[in-house]
């Protein structure tokens, strides 16, 4: 396999590096998202219940001691809940955006890898074709089909590798984006429930 890949030229290395990097990012995000225990509705309902009962301290402690995006957002919201509505909403939006950015970390890098991998493959093919035609020129056009075909398939090997890396990378990116979108929707639903609870208390 190594001997086969080595025939693809100097760009095989960068393409393989892209594949390793994409796999590392995907696994890291899967582990990170898999460990999240947002439990949005359950946590929000408990906090909302405490707020309705006038148990603000218990609600704050419950949010502060839960290491989840939803809990961190509500903890920051609880710190400014007695201020004006605009300040509260600003803090919630800012906190939510921060948590979503954390959930989306490295996803742009994954998309970039999916975009540049086939371009690296195409560049390798172009370089390979240039070398093949240089050989033809050096031989004065007297080259048999076997030599020409061998040079062409070696050149196109990088394109195949680039596409082989790009396709699963883009699928992985789309899957992770969909998971982050679901988490973001849960965060928005939770903050709306929290604000409604504050309104009912007042």
Tens digits of per-residue pLDDT, 67-125? 889 999 999 999 988 888 889 999 999 999 999 999 999 999 999 999 999 999 999 88
Any domain includes 23: no
Q: Is residue 21 in some structural domain?
A: no
Q: 10 Å Cβ neighbour count for 202?
A: 5
Task: Please report the pLDDT score of residue 65 as a whole number.
Answer: 86
Number of domains observed in the structure of the chain: 1
Task: Give the least confident one: 5-9, 38-42, 163-167.
Answer: 38-42
Residue 94, pLDDT score = 94
Domain presence at residue 9: no
Give pLDDT, residue 199.
77
Is 63 part of a structural domain of the chain?
yes
In a domain, 182, yes or no: no
Task: Enter the tokens of residue 201.
Answer: 């208390």
Of 40, 23, 49, 60, residue with least CA distance to 164: 23
- The alpha-helical segments, DSSP class H, found in the chain are 2-6, 12-35, 40-52, 56-64, 69-79, 85-103, 107-138, 145-201
Tokens representing 124? Answer: 């390798």
pLDDT score, position 202 = 53
Residue 51 lies in a domain: yes
Q: Is residue 177 part of a domain?
A: no
Predicted confidence at residue 3, as pLDDT, reads 62
163-189: per-residue pLDDT in tens? 999 999 999 999 999 999 999 998 898
Provide the 8-state DSSP code for 68: S
Closest C-alpha to 21, from 125, 166, 177, 176: 166
d(CA 153, CA 124): 11
- Cβ atoms of 184 and 33 closer than 8 Å: no
d(CA 62, CA 42): 12
Note whether residue 7 is domain-resident.
no
Q: Are 197 and 52 in contact (CB under 8 A)?
A: yes
Domain that residue 42 falls in = 37-103+188-201
């Amino acid at each position: 396999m190594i001997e086969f890949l080595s025939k693809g030229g100097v760009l095989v290395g960068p393409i393989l590096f892209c594949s390793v990097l994409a796999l590392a990012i995907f696994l890291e995000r899967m582990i990170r998202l898999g460990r999240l225990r947002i439990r949005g509705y359950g946590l929000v309902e408990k906090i909302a219940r405490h707020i309705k009962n006038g148990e603000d301290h218990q609600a704050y402690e419950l949010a502060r001691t839960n290491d989840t995006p939803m809990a961190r957002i509500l903890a920051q919201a609880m710190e400014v809940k007695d201020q004006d509505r605009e300040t509260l909403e600003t803090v919630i939006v800012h906190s939510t955006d921060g948590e979503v950015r954390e959930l989306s970390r490295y996803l742009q890098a994954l998309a970039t890898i999916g975009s540049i991998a086939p371009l690296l493959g195409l560049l390798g093919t172009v370089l390979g074709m240039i070398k093949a035609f240089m050989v033809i020129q050096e031989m004065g056009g007297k080259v048999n089909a076997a030599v020409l075909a061998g040079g062409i398939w070696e050149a196109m090997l990088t394109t195949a590798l680039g596409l082989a890396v790009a396709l699963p990378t883009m699928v992985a990116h789309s899957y992770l984006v969909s998971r982050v979108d679901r988490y973001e929707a849960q965060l928005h639903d939770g903050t709306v429930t929290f604000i409604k609870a504050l309104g009912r208390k007042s």
